[in-house]
Amino acid sequence: MSTRRIFLLSPANVGGERAALLFRPDADFDLAHRLRRGEASLGETFAFISGLYFRGKLLYAERFAAPPQDIPGAWVITSSFGLMPPDTLVALGHLRQIAAVPIEASEPRYREPLERGCRSLHELTRGECDFILLGSVATMKYLEPMSAIFGDRLLFPQEFIGRGDMSRGGLMVRCARSGEELNYAPLGALTLHGPRPPKLPRMK
């Protein structure tokens, strides 16, 4: 395993109820105002939409990323723009474009930008960096486009197996606070469907 580490964050559901609040013309809260001006980051927008799960991914990546110099340590998978750093500024128009494209391995509007982003990132890191997927591996929508490019450099937290999204989010928040990093393994070495682990203790 490389000492260099970049995190790949699965996206929020831009077609859900929380996202619908941002699209309302009468939305009168700070994030909605800044989205209309194109002054909101992708990370905070997805954290609002997804809640604990995406917030956990952001906190975890910020704590444990170890990228090569001058390369962001976290990248968000999007449905239509490939890979984007979480601090990328977005507007409502960007969210509409993201919402219009399904995340399916067979969808070229999703797959081709993602593959371009992965190839560029792999070349920038000169093949000397691990890429940790913070997202589900139960389907091929992320794995198929990325594994062909990153190969054995694409890893996944072993402790995610058997957990739902909220449990994963809570686990990552706890790890970011404690400084205790998860264990990563190549996707080929993992059992994708395991027994559900015990519930996490309540956070203080």
Q: Where are the domains of the chain?
A: 5-12+51-86+108-189
More confident residue, 100 or 136: 100
| Percent of the chain at pLDDT exceeding 70 | 91
What is the pLDDT at residue 157?
96
Q: Is the pLDDT of residue 188 over 80?
A: no
What pLDDT does 53 receive? 96
Instruction: Report pLDDT for 187.
Output: 78
Please give the average per-residue pLDDT across 142-157, as a whole number.
94
pLDDT band at 195 (very low <50, low <70, confident <90, very high): low
Give the residue among 135, 94, 137, 127 at the shortest CA–CA distance from 113: 94
pLDDT, tens only, 25-44: 999 999 999 999 999 999 99
Query: What are the tens digits of pLDDT across the range 60-79?
Result: 999 999 999 999 999 999 99
What is the pLDDT, as a whole number, of residue 18?
A: 94
Mean pLDDT of the chain: 92
What separation in angstroms does the CA of 184 have from each of 11, 81, 108, 150, 191? Answer: 20, 27, 29, 15, 13
Q: Is the pLDDT of residue 88 over 70?
A: yes
Category of 132 on φ-ψ map: left (φ > 0), alpha (ψ -120 to 50) or beta: beta
- Which pLDDT belongs to residue 99? 95
Neighbour-count burial of 106, counting CB atoms closer than 10 A to its CB (0-12 exposed, 13-18 middle, 19+ buried) = exposed
Segment 124-145, tens digit of pLDDT: 998 889 999 999 888 889 999 9
